[in-house]
Amino acid sequence: MTALAIVFVFGLLVMVHELGHFLVAKWAGIRVLEFSFGFGPKLVGYKGRETFYAIRLIPLGGFVRLYGMDPEPDERGQAIIGSPNDPYSYMNKPVWKRMAVIAAGPIMNFILAVVLFVAVFAYLGIPAEGKAIGSLAEGKPAVTAGLQAGDRIIAVDNTPTPDWDTLTQAIHSKPNQELVLTVERQGQTRTVTLTTEKDAQTGYGMIGIGPEIVYERVPILQTLRFGFNRTIEFTKFIVVTLAQMITRQIPADVGGPVAIAKAIGEGAQAGFSNLLGLTGVLSIQLGLLNLFPIPALDGSRLVFLAIEGLRRKPLNPEKENLIHLVGFVLLLALMIAITYRDILNLFVKAG
């Protein structure tokens, strides 16, 4: 199950990314030489009017090969980058069309995230905070006072708390203070006295409880809006987290393929809807990563195209390809180092 989930997630993420490049390249009038699912030796293939479609041995992604983008061997075996007069060559298209082709991959990853979130919410419903306690933090005042999951706190100091927002406001407003809670459990009412803790970051009063999550069925348009908003929220969260890591506000904690595979396996065991939600988050991460101006990624190609547009003449393709090659090697080395650390962490935790 874990192996199938890994193939499904990695394959879907990369194929949707490459599909974005493929569709916009076709729209822009660029000849697509190959569109392959997987890497390595070819298993099966089909030659269309101008594009070779293939399924390859390693089913972890795919690639699109555009005419005129990278050097291709001619009949003499020499590497050339398309004919300078061929209207179907990538290099002969306007800068804005080439930028659209490059940006289409990451954009498709964000679109995939929206689609997956909408699918999950359409199936499960929109998550909302219930009125009962859903989780408790160990060692906090709520656990010490004997509160349990499923309890409803209907009043704080004799002031009614009809919903979770009212309850949290009542608790937050009284740090390091004694509270009398009116608790409803299985139809019976009792009072519980406890003292809140003061949160070091916010200064709020806390007792260590979280709400139960209930799912509400809503019209499809609301589901679409919720899926779109959730994609924006995750994107903001990832960007802020990365910025905090770079500025050393929080410890750098980056996972490689091994950590991602482990998370996918856990998501698959938790159910298909959880796996789809995780895939949506990973799709956002892949889209953002590819927009970074790192050589060999889409972001760096967009930077080179922007420079070309400002200079009104193309950069030296050999120098640009060399930069992408060096960037790819460094990126591969970084990935190997992260993977090595992931494997060490697995052994340490197992030990």
Q: What is this structure's pTM? A: 0.75
Residue 251's pLDDT band (cuts 50, 70, 90): low
Q: Which percentage of the chain shows pLDDT scores above 70?
A: 83
Question: What pLDDT does 277 receive?
Answer: 87
Task: Inform me whether the pLDDT recorded for 283 exceeds 50.
Answer: yes
Side chain identity at residue 313, one-letter code:
K
Structure tokens at 23: 């569709």
If you average pLDDT over residues 175-188, what whole number do you get?
Answer: 91
Question: What pLDDT does 350 receive?
Answer: 45
Lowest-confidence pick of 28-37, 121-130, 151-160: 121-130
The string of pLDDT tens digits covering residues 144-167 is: 989 998 999 999 999 999 988 899
DSSP per-residue codes, 44-104: EEEE-SS-EEEEEEEEEEEEEEETTTS-EE-TTS-EE---TT-TTSGGGS-HHHHHHHHHH
Residue 20's pLDDT band (cuts 50, 70, 90): very high
Task: Inform me whether the pLDDT recorded for 348 exceeds 60.
Answer: no
Domain ranges within the chain, ordered by starting residue:
2-100+287-350, 127-216
18 flagged as catalytic: yes
If you average pLDDT over residues 222-230, what whole number do you get?
Answer: 90
- Mean of all residue pLDDT scores within the chain: 83
Q: Which CATH architecture has domain 127-216?
A: Roll (2.30)
Question: What pLDDT does 155 receive?
Answer: 92
Question: What pLDDT does 351 receive?
Answer: 45
Residue 104's pLDDT band (cuts 50, 70, 90): very high
Of these residues, 18, 129, 178, 320, which one is catalytic? 18
Sheet holding 152-156, edge to edge: 159-160, 152-156, 178-185, 188-195
Q: Is-contact 137 143, C-beta < 8 A? A: yes
